[in-house]
Amino acid sequence: ALGSPTQRRPGSRQRFVADLSQCLFDFVVQLLPTQEELAVKEDVRKLLERLIRTIEPESRLLSFGSTANGFSLRNSDMDLCCLIDSEERLAASDLVTMLGDLLERETKFYVKSLPHARIPIVKLSLDPSPGLPLGIACDIGFENRLALENTRLLMCYAMIDPARVRTMVLFLKVWSKRRKINSPYKGTLSSYGYVLLVIYFLVHVKNPPVLPNLQQMPPLRPISEEDTHLHGHNIWFFDDIELLRQRWHSDNNESVADLLIDFFRYYSRDFPYNTGVASIRSGLLKKDSKGWQNDLSNQRYNDARERNRLCIEDPFEADFNVGRCVTKDGLYTIRGEFMRASRILSSRPERAIIALAELCE
């Protein structure tokens, strides 16, 4: 009864896209965390900080990840990072063990300490309560300053054009969770990875770009190497968002629905998965040039090949592939989902809300 898109009346596409944009905004708004949830989380952070200071008086506990970058959904987990400002400090593994014991004694959290993990962390969870109907999950790591910086970078990108950037990112997070392609442990991609794919698309694929490249903008005044580098990584980016809003203006006026449709089309059809690396700092790079592509015939490199199916360069750690957990099967599934989404949106059912429901089924 709907006919193929090409047989439709002119104007029906515009109507569908306008509808879809409105549906996306409405859909995302109801998934934002409530004020109450944010307040409870901040209380939890303060409580934990107070307890950690009984072990390390010079420490601070900071939020990173979605709770701090503007891409938080209702009931998302809390990522916390402990920074210790004194020279003499305990080793992270000792601190993790001591903190785990302390939290087990002093709080109601379920505690799991991982002192010997690659990145030692304490994992906490709390059962549901009236303020947090779905409970809480929280990871505490130590000295992860790069994660704090990449959180700030994503937050700045979100603030430049919240209506389009946040809506797209939040929708993709829900979609990827509902479609079960958001589990690095099972061979698919982390939320962080999806956010980088969106920013890459808005900075480097869209023409004219929706977002500027904050890492390549000239600083307002000269800055010393010492101020721009952390553990050998260049962490500088243009972070004066107020000024940027006055001086930078995107010539791209596409609606959020147009952008989303194009996002799915690009990642189902056009992104060169076999040879390409998505870098928000540098644009499209070659796996070859980063040593991320390995000869099929060479057994020795099979592991590296398996780890580099989907290549997304970390914004600060250039030798780190954020998509390293994505397996061959995982990538096949993810691309299949991009294609499915693209197909649903191009079939343009009569009402946009139906497309959205089907997308996230």
* Chain residues that interact with ligand GTP, rule: CB under 6 A: 64-66, 69, 71-73, 76-77, 79, 146-147, 150-151, 173, 190-192, 314, 317, 322
In terms of CB distance, is 135 or 291 closer to Mg ion?
135
Where along the sequence are the contacts to Mg ion (CB under 5 A)? 65-66, 77, 79
Residue 62 burial by Cβ neighbours in a 10 Å radius (0-12, 13-18, 19+): middle
Rounded to whole angstroms, the Cα distance separating 332 from 143 reads 35
Question: Toward ligand GTP, which CB reaches closer, 120 or 352?
Answer: 120
- CA 266 – CA 66 distance, rounded (Å): 25
Element (H, E) at 196: helix 191-200
Q: Smallest distance from the beta carbon of 7 to ligand GTP, in angstroms?
A: 41
Please state the separation of Cα 243 from the chain's center in Å. 25
Whole-angstrom distance, CA of residue 268 vs CA of residue 359: 15
Residue 20 or 122: the one with the smaller Cβ distance to ligand GTP is 122
**Rounded to an integer, what distance in angstroms lies between the CA atom of residue 167 and that of residue 188?**
22
200 binds, among Mg ion, ligand GTP, none (CB under 5 to 8 A by kind): none
Q: From the CB of 329, what's the least distance to ligand GTP, in Å?
A: 20
Residue closer to ligand GTP by CB (options 50, 60) is 60
Question: Measured from the CB of residue 120, what is the shortest distance to ligand GTP in angstroms?
Answer: 15
Closest-CB residue for Mg ion? 65
What does each C-alpha distance from 119 to 81, 139, 321, 344, 357 come to in angstroms? 11, 11, 16, 40, 38
For 262-283, letters b (16+ CB in 10 Å) and e give: bbbbbbbeebebeebbbbbbee
Cα 70 → chain centroid: 10
Shortest reach from residue 8's CB to ligand GTP, in Å? 37
Q: Which is nearer to Mg ion, 75 or 107 (CB)?
A: 75
- The site partner of 188 among Mg ion, ligand GTP, none (C-beta below 5 to 8 Å per kind) is none
Q: Which is nearer to ligand GTP, 191 or 308 (CB)?
A: 191
Give the torsion through C-alpha atoms of 278, 309, 267, 249, to 10 deg.
-10
CB nearer ligand GTP, residue 191 or residue 268 = 191
Shortest distance (Å) from residue 277 CB to ligand GTP = 15
Q: How far is the CB of 199 from ligand GTP (least distance, A)?
A: 12
- Pick one of ligand GTP, Mg ion, none as the site partner of residue 192 (Cβ within 5 to 8 A by kind): ligand GTP
Residue 4 identity (one-letter amino acid): S
What does residue 281 show for φ and ψ, rounded to 5 degrees?
-75, -45
CB of 66 to ligand GTP, least distance (A): 3
**Number of residues assigned to the chain:** 361
Residue 97 touches which of Mg ion, ligand GTP, none (CB < 5 to 8 A by kind)? none
Residue 151 interaction partner, one of ligand GTP, Mg ion, none, beta carbon < 5-8 Å per kind = ligand GTP
Closest residue (Cβ) to ligand GTP? 65
